[in-house]
Amino acid sequence: MLRFLCLVASLAFSGASQAQTAPSAAEIASYTGMHLAAHEGHVDEIKRLIASGADLNARDRVGRTPAHIAAFASNDDAVSAPAKGGADMNGLENRVYDVLTIAAVANNPVLVSLAMELGNGADLITSVYDGTALIAAAHLGHHEVVALLVAGGAPLDHVNNLGWTALMEAVVLGDGGNDHIRTLQILVDAGADKSIPDRDGVIPPESKGLRK
């Protein structure tokens, strides 16, 4: 049990350093072309640049494409434009995040749905923890996003490199409030396996209010 609690504390600490990082003010000031248009949501400029042959998958210094930039800025139309022009919607930036996981962490159901419609796979392995958008959303109790990802075919029982599923993360890293209880219920109702243990053999404990 001590090892288990230490792992939780370690994850909380390391998560601060490994989390998604939106472009800084200095990075934004350096942007030109597609990256600048994506950040500002200038769809007509994105289309003009596409027509002129601009690189739809160009990377900034930490590997963000224009689609990543638009997702961080919650500029939905600016995500659609490069995608429809042929941009790779399953590209990962240097911290191993895709547009879908960025949207899931931001609790943006509209962008989550859009990303999947544009071809961003809900089964993509993301983050330094080898997780998924579903695990990220479950961890945070973003139940509306969790429901969308489940409906979109996200793997319910994927185990990340910490040994945890989405269900386990919602229990261990959740606050026990209504958002996490609703998240757990969605996962269980969808068929998530409650018997999958972590590396220490611990299984998700029963949560108050969770239907059998």
What pLDDT score does 204 carry? 78
> Residue 190's pLDDT is what?
97
Same domain, yes or no: 159 and 182: yes
Pair (132, 206) in one structural domain: yes
Residues 77 and 105 in one domain: no
How far apart, in whole angstroms, are the C-alpha atoms of residue 199 and residue 133? 21
Number of domains into which the chain is organized? 2
Are residues 136 and 56 located together in one domain of the fold? no
Query: The whole model's pTM is what?
Result: 0.88
Residue 200 pLDDT: 84
pLDDT given for residue 5 in this prediction: 39
Angstrom distance (rounded) from CA 104 to CA 108: 6
Residues 6+ apart with CB under 8 A from 93: 59, 62, 63, 64, 65, 68
One domain for residues 102 and 204: yes
Block means of pLDDT (10 residues each) for the chain, length 212 residues? 41 49 96 98 97 96 97 96 96 96 97 98 96 97 98 98 95 93 96 91 63 49
63 and 108 share a domain? no
